[in-house]
Amino acid sequence: MDGHACWIFDQQHEFVEAALEYLTDGLRAEQRIVYVGSEPVEEQRELLAPLGDVGGMIDKGALQLFELTNLYESGKPVDPEVRVAVYLAATDAAVADGYTGLRVAAQATDLVAGPHAREAHLRWESIADRYIATHPLSAFCGYRRGALPEQLLCDLAAVHPASNEGHPAVPFHLFSDSGNVVLAGEVDTFSAPDFDRLLELACDGGEQVSLDLGELDFIDHHGLARLAAHTQRLATHGGCAVHNPPPVVDRLCELLDLKL
């Protein structure tokens, strides 16, 4: 699994097992691998023992381990642009050291433990997705069910292009691919408010947006009205171009006299 994935789990060992598989793929691809967890680093070394010679990999720089609290102030709002700059610098360093890229598995539950940190973190996930789509950087983001509200888990899954089967029912995904913001799945009366909120977080109007609807399976008039409002908002700021609208979008725009 490459790119940017959301992994929602019930027990810590479930995340560790999935992270081991993900990081093993990174070793095969000759990437520098990184594990970020809530456990002390010494405990992380034990958890990742199935990878092989953990000490040797750390010594030569192939594996890096970090405690979450040493990297971030848990539960506090983040500056997404600053965090992206840190990861891009780490990616550049990995490539300069002869690796094909950087692959990060992070158990990030504590970062959104405080309600006031959640909107900024969702914004961070959206911004990170844009950079991951165009850089040799992959991220596997773990969130523990039971520690976070179900609605937040849905939001987190929705702003990743991929998520595991254990995630809550997420009818749509909003992610980046080749410079486009892609809307995939279904947007209806029930999911339209969530779509409205997440699209505003992902596209704040400060830059030109290229919106790709090619993977949109269905949208009703409630969702389309919100989409049209956003395209008009974005058009008056950085600009907005809509690509690959499916027939249902063209037909609804004609019936409702809406313009994207």
pLDDT in tens, 150-170: 999 999 999 999 898 655 578
Distance of CA 39 to the CA centre of its chain: 22
Among positive and negative, which fits the CA dihedral 114, 116, 117, 123?
Answer: positive
Hey, where are the domains in the chain?
1-167, 171-260
**Distance between CA atoms of residues 5 and 25, nearest Å:** 14
Q: What integer pLDDT is reported at residue 205 of this predicted model? A: 67
Q: What integer pLDDT is reported at residue 166 of this predicted model? A: 55
The number of beta carbons lying within 10 Å of the beta carbon of residue 220 is 16
| Phi, psi at 104, each rounded to 5° | -120, 130
Partner residues linked to 162 by β-bridges: 5
- For residues 194 and 33, the answer to whether their CB atoms sit within 8 Å is no
Give the right CATH number for 1-167 from 3.90.1150.10, 3.40.50.300, 3.30.1490.20, 3.40.50.170: 3.40.50.300
Strands (E), 1-132: 4-9, 32-37, 63-67, 102-107
Residue ranges for the chain with pLDDT beneath 70: 1, 74-76, 165-168, 205
Shortest CA distance to 246 belongs to which of 212, 216, 209?
216
Q: What integer pLDDT is reported at residue 238 of this predicted model? A: 79
Sorted by sequence, the CB contacts under 8 Å of residue 163 that are 6+ apart come out as 5, 6, 7, 8, 157, 170, 173
Write the pLDDT tens digit of every residue in 176-232. 888 889 999 999 999 999 999 999 988 876 778 999 999 999 999 999 999 999 999
Instruction: Please tell me whether residue 163 adopts helix, strand or coil conformation.
Output: strand
**Distance between CA atoms of residues 157 and 167, nearest Å:** 7
What is the architecture, at CATH level 2, of domain 171-260?
2-Layer Sandwich (3.30)
- For residues 102 and 137, the answer to whether their CB atoms sit within 8 Å is yes
| Phi, psi at 189, each rounded to 5° | -55, -40
Q: What is the CA radius of gyration of the chain?
A: 19
DSSP 217: E
Q: What integer pLDDT is reported at residue 32 of this predicted model? A: 98
1-167 against 171-260: fold identical: no
